[in-house]
Amino acid sequence: MTRSADECFPPIAKPNAEVLILGSLPGVRSLEMQQYYAHPQNAFWKLVARIFDVEASLPYAQRLRVLTANRIALWDVLAAAERPGSLDSSIVHASARANDFAAFFRSHPRVRQVFFNGRKSEQMYRRFVLPGLPAEFAAIHHVSLPSTSPAHAGMPFAEKLVRWKAIKRKVKS
């Protein structure tokens, strides 16, 4: 039996977004829950809660509103790919299909900063997106942040928090 490709969710973004956070592709738990970063051990929402001084236990819709209220968009590099399990290292590159970033950047012209949730999302962006991206969008500044995945627990939460706070500094007050 052939396994179908995992597919990403639509971007979470308002037209006034200034920052874009990119993951690679939703994991198994996220796909089951139809929510970004749904695995309970993923630190993403805990970091967002600490950075923006909100309760980590907010319902999903309210957590998304925290991002959009702070002019932050959320998406994944890949629109679809085959991946047994949830590890980015298991993504079958031959099956990878990137999201349409030219269209995204055209509809979100204020995005001037892209933050990658881990090195793998940055590597996939450089491999599958940058080569076909118009120069005006390829020039958008990129920063790789430590992965929030439970598979990358080598860095303490406090250190991740310090690095992830760069997002708040990039969004205009």
Q: What is the DSSP string of 93-110?
A: GGG-EE--HHHHHHH-TT
DSSP alpha helices (H): ranges in 35-156? 44-51, 60-69, 101-107, 119-128, 135-138
Distance, in Å, from the CA atom of 44 to the CA atom of 51, rounded to the nearest integer, reads: 11
Percent of the chain with pLDDT over 70: 87
Output the six-digit token pair for 92. 């079958």
- All structural domains of the chain: 6-170 (3.40.470.10)
Q: Is 78:98 a contact under the CB 8 Å cutoff?
A: yes
Question: What pLDDT does 2 receive?
Answer: 42
User: Which string of b and e fits 83-94 if b means at least 16 CB within 10 Å?
Assistant: beebebeebeee
Catalytic residues: 42
**pTM for the model:** 0.91
Predicted confidence (pLDDT) per residue in 106-134, tens digit: 999 999 999 999 999 999 999 999 999 99
DSSP state of 142: E
Predicted confidence (pLDDT) per residue in 19-35, tens digit: 999 998 888 888 889 99
